[in-house]
Structure 1
Amino acid sequence: MRDGGRIAAAIEVLTEINERRRPVQEALKDWGNKHRFAGSGDRVAIGNLVFDALRHKLSHAQAMGSDSARALVLATYIWGWGNQVEKLQQVMEEDRHAPEPLSEAEGEALLQNKPVDDGNQISANIPEWLWPHFQDNFGDEALAVGRSLSERAPIDMRVNTLKSSQEKVLKRLSHLRAEVSGLSPVGVRLEPVVGPRKSPHVQAEETFRKGWFELQDEASQIASILSGAQPGEQVLDLCAGGGGKSLALAAQMQNKGQIYAYDAHKIRLAPLYERMARAGVRNIQTIDPQTGSLDICNGKMDRVFVDAPCSGTGVWRRRPDTKWRVTENALNGRIEEQAQVLETATRFVRSGGKLIYATCSLIPAENQLQVKAFLEKHSDFKLVDLAPVWDEHFGVVESRKPLFKDGGTVTLTPHHTGTDGFFIAMMERV
């Protein structure tokens, strides 16, 4: 396929997403199944157009004077990918699979490239109903945070220190231009690709198959490090999901002690077994939510890690379609779930033990306010100031400094720390 056909396909997919509120991956998969002649490069380019259009949906729509799928894709092709309007006009004239030629209004808007600088939610590409939450959390920096969440994300990897080292992984991935991620001492990063290019498939690397590294955003790596888990401890990963943090904690604990991995949804734990084998991890015990019991953990855990279900506002760089699908009812439901899982977690924390609460959200109601409500209800827990813990592990790097709020909780954002958006708090049972 040439660019004209790719643009037309992206418009078709984005129209399907907008009109039927379908997840982007589902819509792209269906398009691919119906158009099997499209090669892998075509599918990547079409997907990139769709994702980038969703990332800048509001600002592109305002500048184009239209929020149609066509307007968003055309704006992405020109402004997002750095192509000239003349090239687009030529593509539309020469490719019979291209969409209709540019209208006079479209051509004028694309040539003007009028910047959207309202200093508000449109410039930030944040849904209007969510904008006050970002203003409450970040004040004058809300716009910068929103813009950083509208960019592409890098590929972050965590070096598995049970099998390798950061230096070795960097050397073996030098052909991909891998770099240290900057904050995590076990982090390796590939900068995001641009335009229609395909991101490297790092899971195909021999070093991945050998278990030398795992895919894990640096923010998640940082959360594991800040938990302070030590070799020999008893740790419960209460919302383990696919086990990314369990694996990070296992390496941090040098395969010593015991990690109990649990998730209320059994299917989410399924990938962990293969990942444990590849990583050489021996100190994780999974607990089946249908047949197993958490009673073995009652009052015995040195640390309980709660990576709570949340709105996912911190990972919009990777999942831009969720930005436009999240609803206020869904957010309220998540807030209730978070309170419930925190309440459940209390029974497992021993005296002097730590309860770590984390989300990939940047909404105060899911983060600081959730912790405040918990502490008001549980006088036997106190908040631990994570600021000195941060300095101990990551030093004082002003250019990548997180926000410390309300007595020492940590908020990470692409703008402040170059990571996904993440919130971390630690409470100690006294």
Structure 2
Amino acid sequence: MTPAARLQAVIDLLTEIDETPRPADAVMSAYFRARRYIGSKDRTAVAQTAYAILRRHARLTWWLEREGRTATPRARVLANEILAEGKPLATVLELFDGSKFGPARLSPEELALGRALDTHTLEHPSMPEAVRVECPSWAEGPMRAALGAQFAREMEALLDSAPLDLRVNPVKANRESAIKALSRARIQAQPTRWSPLGLRVQGRPPLATVDAFKEGLVEIQDEGSQLVAFAVAPKPGQQVVDFCAGAGGKTLAIAALMNNKGRVVACDVLAGRLKRAAERFRRAGLHNIEPHPLTSERDPWVKRHKRKFDRVLVDAPCSGTGTWRRNPDSRWRALGPGLDQLVPLQASILESASRLVKPGGRLIYATCSMLPEENEGQIAAFLESHPEFTVKPVAEVWAEEGADSVPAEGPYLRLTPARHDTDGFFAAVLERKADEPVTAAESGAAGDGAEDDAAELAAG
């Protein structure tokens, strides 16, 4: 592809992202699948430019609105070429050349915009701080409350692209053997700072074609997500539930830490995701995982299995603010429920899942959010109504596991891009009192079991 054709492809791709109610990465995958004639180097160049523009959305939009323009895909691409890429207008005119596969020539209005932006840079002294760090208005207050004086530093770290992390599967390999296996495919990997099973890979190699991946020696998983699994601290032979398993990343990590012994029940309300995760379980050589779809967080299965599990992980659905490095478009596009819906849903999930924890067992609540409402606020509200649970500081969990360093200050695990170079994560470990008596409600009043069975049969 010519440089002009690549630029037109970026415009087309951004248009599809704007018009399709799906995450940008899914739209990009579909876009390139439908255009297999685009070579790998061109795909990489187009995707990188599109992602760069998504990461600069607020700043580019600020400039366009300053000049009285609408932030269309074409206008954002034009502004990005001048403001962020530093190209003089004369060079940009050569790209908007009206060729067969290139962008149409600039209109008089666009030419005037180009002249107004020419010689400027992406940031401007009068640009508000929230715009400069790409923080949407709905998240600015909560993010400032969570980050305090580190607001700008952490938000700037969220502008970077995320590194590619792998988790070594201890059932099949260790760090040294995995590094050697990857090196045979000319992939360089270094141990991560915090996770004892983590590897950070240089670049973006095609891992799906690499033997170390196909044979289950490694899995793609951010180091922060790995640390959430370590916070669960499962033991071989235990009974564990991953209550919101999704695609199964943390389920895999937990099952591997148990050395394929015991039982891990992977639950989710999206049965299709669990079905697709089964291939990951097979590739990893893990046989202690039992997928179990739920109709909702109040599925009758929960009541029938109350107080039967040593560990229950609630990786709750959340705003995903901690993953903005990977999903820059999610700052600006409402593709799921908002905070007003998420916060009560999280509380309901946590409440229901807590019933599964046996006396002396642990309930681990986690999100990939950095917002207090979804994290500390949820734990405080839960503990107020559940005195049978107490917080177990993450440092104590790490000490029990023999870890050398603890990536936490205070009782909870709070990970951020600037401090830990991971995605933003939160995890709290709650322990149920070992001598807590069974309540009348939990003991199962007459008819409870029959009602549960009937409800589950009705749900299919």
Shorter chain as denominator, the TM-score bin is 0.7 to 0.9
Output the CA distance in 2 between the equivalents of 1:394 and 1:96.
60
Superposition map of 1:121-160 within 5 A: 121-160=130-169
Output the CA distance in 2 between the equivalents of 1:325 and 1:114.
22
Does the aligned pair in 2 maintain the 1:238–1:307 contact within 8 Å? yes
Secondary structure at 2:137's aligned position in 1?
coil
- Displacement of 1:205 in angstroms is 0.5
**Which letter does structure 2 place at the counterpart of 1:233?**
Q
Output the CA distance in 1 between the equivalents of 2:182 and 2:304.
42
- Displacement of 1:34 in angstroms is 6.5
> Which residue does the alignment assign to 1:69?
73
- Displacement of 1:94 in angstroms is 9.1
Cα 1:162–1:32 change in 2 (3 A) is: closer
Secondary structure at 1:241's aligned position in 2?
coil
Q: Percent identity between the aligned chains?
A: 36
2:57 pairs with 1:43: no
How many equivalent residue pairs?
418
Superposition map of 1:220-299 within 5 A: 220-289=225-294, 293-294=301-302, 297-299=305-307
> Which residue does the alignment assign to 1:196?
none
2:195 pairs with 1:184: yes
Does the aligned pair in 2 maintain the 1:183–1:394 contact within 8 Å? no
**Which letter does structure 1 place at the counterpart of 2:45?**
A
Output the CA distance in 2 between the equivalents of 1:288 and 1:94.
53
Output the CA distance in 1 between the equivalents of 2:97 and 2:130.
36
- Displacement of 1:27 in angstroms is 4.2
Describe the superposition over 1:163-189 as per-residue Cα deviations: whole angstroms up to 9, x where unpaired: 011111112223122222221111111
Superposition map of 1:69-148 within 5 A: 69-77=73-81, 88-93=92-97, 97-99=101-103, 100-101=105-106, 103=111, 105-106=113-114, 109-116=117-124, 118=127, 120-148=129-157
Superposition map of 1:311-350 within 5 A: 311-326=319-334, 330-350=338-358
Cα 1:82–1:267 change in 2 (3 A) is: farther
Does the aligned pair in 2 maintain the 1:184–1:394 contact within 8 Å? no
Output the CA distance in 2 between the equivalents of 1:328 and 1:201.
30
Secondary structure at 2:431's aligned position in 1?
strand
**Which letter does structure 1 place at the counterpart of 2:201?**
L
> Which residue does the alignment assign to 1:6?
6
Does the aligned pair in 2 maintain the 1:250–1:281 contact within 8 Å? yes
Secondary structure at 1:411's aligned position in 2?
strand
**Which letter does structure 2 place at the counterpart of 1:17?**
I
- Displacement of 1:325 in angstroms is 1.3
> Which residue does the alignment assign to 1:166?
175
Output the CA distance in 2 between the equivalents of 1:96 and 1:77.
20
Cα 1:68–1:254 change in 2 (3 A) is: same
Output the CA distance in 2 between the equivalents of 1:31 and 1:236.
37
> Which residue does the alignment assign to 2:448?
none
Comparing 328-337 and 361-370, the one that deviates more: 328-337
Cα 1:76–1:412 change in 2 (3 A) is: farther
> Which residue does the alignment assign to 2:458?
none
Describe the superposition over 1:402-427 as per-residue Cα deviations: whole angstroms up to 9, x where unpaired: 5x35xx11211111111111111111
> Which residue does the alignment assign to 1:216?
221
Comparing 39-48 and 372-381, the one that deviates more: 39-48
Q: Show structure 2 runs of 5+ residues with no match.
A: 434-460
Tell me the C-alpha RMSD between the 2 structures: 2.8
Output the CA distance in 2 between the equivalents of 1:227 and 1:144.
30
**Which letter does structure 2 place at the counterpart of 1:304?**
V
Does the aligned pair in 1 maintain the 2:84–2:121 contact within 8 Å? no
- Displacement of 1:70 in angstroms is 2.8
> Which residue does the alignment assign to 1:15?
15
Describe the superposition over 1:116-168 as per-residue Cα deviations: whole angstroms up to 9, x where unpaired: 46562101101112111100100121122222112111111100010011111
Secondary structure at 2:48's aligned position in 1?
helix
**Which letter does structure 2 place at the counterpart of 1:178?**
A
**Which letter does structure 1 place at the counterpart of 2:10?**
A
- Displacement of 1:108 in angstroms is 5.7
Does the aligned pair in 1 maintain the 2:260–2:288 contact within 8 Å? yes
- Displacement of 1:288 in angstroms is 3.6
Output the CA distance in 1 between the equivalents of 2:169 and 2:137.
41
> Which residue does the alignment assign to 2:360?
352
Output the CA distance in 2 between the equivalents of 1:97 and 1:79.
24
Cα 1:298–1:110 change in 2 (3 A) is: farther
- Displacement of 1:252 in angstroms is 1.0
> Which residue does the alignment assign to 2:375?
367
Output the CA distance in 2 between the equivalents of 1:395 and 1:63.
48
> Which residue does the alignment assign to 1:306?
314
- Displacement of 1:23 in angstroms is 3.6
What is the TM-score with the length of structure 1 in the denominator? Answer: 0.87
Cα 1:310–1:233 change in 2 (3 A) is: same
Describe the superposition over 1:98-121 as per-residue Cα deviations: whole angstroms up to 9, x where unpaired: 333573542563533152465621
> Which residue does the alignment assign to 2:425?
422
